[in-house]
Amino acid sequence: MGAERDNLLPGTLDLLILKTLERGEFHGYDIAERILATSDHVLQVEEGALYPALHRMQVRGWLGARWGLSDNNRRAKFYRLTTAGRRQLAASRASWERVSLAVGKVLRAEG
Protein backbone atom coordinates (compact mmCIF):
# COMPACT_ATOMS: atom_id res chain seq x y z
CA MET A 1 0.00 0.00 0.00
CA GLY A 2 1.56 3.22 -1.11
CA ALA A 3 1.61 6.22 1.13
CA GLU A 4 -0.53 9.14 0.01
CA ARG A 5 1.97 11.84 -0.43
CA ASP A 6 0.81 14.58 -2.72
CA ASN A 7 -2.88 14.54 -2.00
CA LEU A 8 -2.82 16.36 1.28
CA LEU A 9 -4.09 19.90 0.88
CA PRO A 10 -2.26 22.47 3.02
CA GLY A 11 -5.37 23.21 5.00
CA THR A 12 -5.77 19.57 5.80
CA LEU A 13 -2.17 19.26 6.88
CA ASP A 14 -2.63 22.21 9.24
CA LEU A 15 -5.62 20.48 10.73
CA LEU A 16 -3.69 17.26 11.25
CA ILE A 17 -0.81 19.08 12.90
CA LEU A 18 -3.14 21.04 15.17
CA LYS A 19 -4.94 17.89 16.17
CA THR A 20 -1.68 16.08 16.88
CA LEU A 21 -0.56 18.89 19.14
CA GLU A 22 -3.83 18.80 21.03
CA ARG A 23 -2.38 16.15 23.23
CA GLY A 24 0.86 17.90 24.07
CA GLU A 25 4.20 19.32 22.91
CA PHE A 26 6.06 17.56 20.14
CA HIS A 27 8.91 18.25 17.80
CA GLY A 28 8.58 18.13 14.02
CA TYR A 29 9.78 14.56 13.57
CA ASP A 30 7.45 13.29 16.27
CA ILE A 31 4.48 15.06 14.71
CA ALA A 32 5.14 13.37 11.37
CA GLU A 33 5.57 9.98 13.05
CA ARG A 34 2.35 10.33 15.02
CA ILE A 35 0.35 11.28 11.97
CA LEU A 36 1.82 8.32 10.15
CA ALA A 37 1.05 5.95 12.98
CA THR A 38 -2.41 7.25 13.76
CA SER A 39 -3.41 7.06 10.11
CA ASP A 40 -2.19 3.47 9.86
CA HIS A 41 0.71 4.54 7.66
CA VAL A 42 -1.52 6.13 5.06
CA LEU A 43 -0.64 9.75 5.61
CA GLN A 44 3.08 10.29 5.25
CA VAL A 45 4.00 13.90 5.78
CA GLU A 46 7.12 15.06 3.94
CA GLU A 47 9.58 17.40 5.65
CA GLY A 48 9.17 19.74 2.68
CA ALA A 49 5.52 20.18 3.61
CA LEU A 50 5.78 19.76 7.37
CA TYR A 51 8.25 22.46 8.30
CA PRO A 52 6.79 25.24 6.13
CA ALA A 53 3.42 24.43 7.65
CA LEU A 54 4.80 24.45 11.19
CA HIS A 55 6.56 27.78 10.65
CA ARG A 56 3.57 29.31 8.92
CA MET A 57 1.31 28.38 11.78
CA GLN A 58 3.86 29.67 14.27
CA VAL A 59 3.96 33.02 12.47
CA ARG A 60 0.18 33.22 12.51
CA GLY A 61 0.21 32.63 16.21
CA TRP A 62 -1.50 29.23 16.26
CA LEU A 63 1.58 27.45 17.50
CA GLY A 64 4.14 28.37 20.05
CA ALA A 65 7.64 26.91 20.02
CA ARG A 66 10.55 26.34 22.36
CA TRP A 67 13.89 24.60 22.11
CA GLY A 68 14.39 21.64 24.36
CA LEU A 69 16.02 18.22 24.67
CA SER A 70 14.55 15.23 22.95
CA ASP A 71 14.27 11.74 24.44
CA ASN A 72 17.73 10.89 23.20
CA ASN A 73 19.20 14.15 24.55
CA ARG A 74 19.41 15.99 21.28
CA ARG A 75 18.40 19.65 20.89
CA ALA A 76 15.04 19.90 19.16
CA LYS A 77 12.33 22.49 18.61
CA PHE A 78 9.07 21.60 20.35
CA TYR A 79 5.73 23.01 19.17
CA ARG A 80 2.58 23.48 21.19
CA LEU A 81 -0.92 24.84 20.63
CA THR A 82 -1.74 28.40 21.66
CA THR A 83 -5.16 29.60 22.65
CA ALA A 84 -5.64 30.91 19.13
CA GLY A 85 -4.49 27.55 17.84
CA ARG A 86 -7.07 25.70 19.85
CA ARG A 87 -9.77 27.97 18.48
CA GLN A 88 -8.44 27.37 14.97
CA LEU A 89 -8.43 23.60 15.54
CA ALA A 90 -12.09 23.65 16.53
CA ALA A 91 -13.01 25.81 13.57
CA SER A 92 -11.01 23.82 11.01
CA ARG A 93 -12.33 20.56 12.34
CA ALA A 94 -15.90 21.73 12.10
CA SER A 95 -15.27 22.99 8.60
CA TRP A 96 -13.59 19.72 7.54
CA GLU A 97 -16.43 17.62 8.84
CA ARG A 98 -18.96 19.79 7.07
CA VAL A 99 -17.07 19.50 3.80
CA SER A 100 -16.41 15.77 4.02
CA LEU A 101 -20.08 15.18 4.82
CA ALA A 102 -21.03 17.13 1.77
CA VAL A 103 -18.50 15.32 -0.44
CA GLY A 104 -19.80 12.01 0.86
CA LYS A 105 -23.35 13.02 -0.01
CA VAL A 106 -22.30 13.88 -3.55
CA LEU A 107 -20.40 10.62 -3.95
CA ARG A 108 -23.27 8.49 -2.63
CA ALA A 109 -25.81 10.22 -4.85
CA GLU A 110 -27.26 7.91 -7.53
CA GLY A 111 -27.45 8.96 -11.11
Partner 1 sequence: MMLLAKLRALLWRRKLERELDEELAFHRAMLAEKQAGTGRPGRRFGNELRWREATREAWLVAWVESLGQDLRYAVRSLRRSPGYAATVILMLALGIGANSAIFSLAYGVLWKPLPYPQAERLIDLKQGRTITDHVMVSGWDVEQARQVNTGLQNWILYARSEALATGAGTPAVWQGTMTEAGFFPMLGVRPILGRLLTPADDRPGAPAVVDISAAMWRERWGGSASVIGRTLNLDSRPYTIVGVVPESFTFSGKSNAFWRPWQPKGDSSSGRQYGALARLAPGVTLAQAQRGLDLEMARLAQVKSSDKGWRFIARPLHAALVGDAGNQLHLLLAVVALVLLIASINIACLLLARAQRRARELATRAALGAGRARIARHLLTETALLVGAGFGASLLVAWAGIGWLRAAAPASIPRLDQVALNGPVLGFAAGLSVLVGLIFALAPALRAAAPALDTRLQGRALGPRHLRGRTVLIAVQIGLAVVLLAGSGLLLKALGRMMDVRLGFNPSHLLVFYVSPAPARYPKTPDLLNLYDRVSASLAALPGVRQVAAASFLPFNGNASTGYALPNLPMKPNDDSQSVGINVVGPSYFAALEIPALTGRVFLASDRAGSAPVAVVSQSVARTVFAGKNAIGQRIRLDWGKDPWRTVVGVVGDVRSYLGSQPMPPDPTVYIPSAQTDVFAGEPFVLRTAGDPLAIVPAAQKSLQNVDPDLPLDQPQAMAEAYDGELVAPRFRGVLVSGFGLLALALTAVGLYGLLSYSVGGRRAEFGVRAALGARPGQVMGLVLRQASWLIAGGALAGLVTAWALARFLEALLYGVRPTDLGVYAGAVAVTAAVGLAAAWGPARRAMRVDAAQALREG
Distance CA 44, CA 27 (A): 16
Measured from the CB atom, the residue of 9 and 106 that comes closer to partner 1 is 9
Chosen residue from 11, 41, 56, 103 binding partner 1 by CB under 8 A: 56
Give yes or no for residue 11 binding partner 1 (CB under 8 A).
no
Per CB under 8 A, 105 contacts partner 1: no
Interacting residues with partner 1 between 13 and 52 (CB under 8 A): 27-29, 46-49, 51-52
Going by the DSSP 8-state scheme, the letter that residue 39 receives in this structure is: T
Q: In what order do the strands lie in the sheet with 63-69?
A: 26-27, 75-81, 63-69
Site string for partner 1, 65-84 (x = CB under 8 A): --x--x---xxxx-----x-
Closest CB to partner 1 among residues 19, 77: 77
The candidate with the shortest Cα–Cα distance to 18, out of 108, 90, 105, 107, is 90
DSSP assigned state of 21: G
Judge residue 1's burial from the number of C-beta atoms within 10 Å of its C-beta, 0-12 exposed, 13-18 middle, 19 or more buried: exposed
> In angstroms, what is the minimal distance from the CB of 89 to partner 1?
16
Please give the residue ranges that form the binding site for partner 1 (CB under 8 A).
Answer: 27-29, 46-49, 51-52, 55-56, 58-61, 64, 67, 70, 74-77, 83
